[in-house]
Copies of this chain bind each other. A is one copy, B any other.
Amino acid sequence: MASLKVPANVPLPEEDAEQLHKAFKGWGTNEGMIISILAHRNATQRSFIRAVYAANYNKDLLNELDRELSGDFERAVMLWTFEPAERDAYLAKESTKMFTKNNWVLVEVACTRSALEFFSAKQAYQARYKTSLEEDVAYHTSGDIRKLLVPLVSTFRYDGDEVNMVLARSEAKILHQKIEEKAYVDDDLIRILTTRSKAQISATLNHYKNNFGTSMAKYLKEDSEYIQLLKAVIKCLTYPEKYFEKVLRQAINKLGTDEWGLTRVVTTRAEFDMERIKEEYLRRNSVPLDRAIAKDTHGDYEDILLALLGHDHA
């Protein structure tokens, strides 16, 4: 369930665009106005506002935001204002660049979105960057990590619920054998995790647990980046709320707070499953997520995150 709160009576996009235009004008920018509008509109409504803004003022709303805002607040507003596919493309691109390289984000985007959402992100990626995500990932990675990530971002997984139990049984056996041999970079192991549907992988890992006593992830004990990414793949595919809870926990508990992680999870999940993530967060940390965020952030940045968590009203 989404945490985003949209008011019962949403103003026309023309009115919203006009208010935003006013917010940019004069001496200071009116950040409160920006939050009260954008943080309470869904993706469709935001894209209408952008279209109307471009038509009426002959300017790109995103450029205006970029010019007027700064720091963590800017990043949060920008990421949020994007359409979901555009935003995923942006995050993925960032993750393949030298200074903002982040293989975790690639796993996250490839594995927690639905097959169609991820496909749309890849289309948006091509439209914007004139290259494919696959080629950029392949170019910027190497070795074992390339072996895992390239198929991961390439496959258009089947997204249905049907599960082949015979296959689940036989592939659980394969996985168990590979794990026993510590063959973590094995072709079959990677093939199973990168090509099967989420429902099928879930069934296979359930068989694994039922037949071999412990979950496969428990056997992955090495501390290499490859093994950690493999565990993230499994978590993202089978228990995304818990994966996101962990990203938030680590971002908030880190000395100095990892604002990029925090902003990314809040802006990408507010319209999808943030309520479930909040539930997991409270369960695992005994502190409500909004309180933890309020303690670690301040000012406009705090305000937009809390608004996206469903805190205040438009």
Chain A positions within 8 Å of B, measured between CB atoms, are 161, 163, 165, 168, 199, 202-203, 206, 238-239, 283-288
Contacts and interface: CB of A to CB of B under 8 A. Distances in A.
Contacts of A288: 161
Given A163-B287, A168-B286, 11 more contacts: A161-B288, A163-B286, A165-B286, A199-B286, A202-B283, A202-B286, A203-B286, A206-B284, A206-B285, A206-B286, A238-B283
A49 B206 CA distance: 43
- Copies of this protein in the complex: 2
14 contacts: A161-B288, A163-B286, A163-B287, A165-B286, A168-B286, A199-B286, A202-B283, A202-B286, A203-B286, A206-B284, A206-B285, A206-B286, A238-B283, A239-B283
Nearest to A288: B161
Nearest to A279: B276
A228 to B, nearest CB: 16
A258 B277 CA distance: 34
A268 B285 CA distance: 29
Residue among A168, A203, A206, A288 with max Cβ neighbours from chain B (10 Å): A206
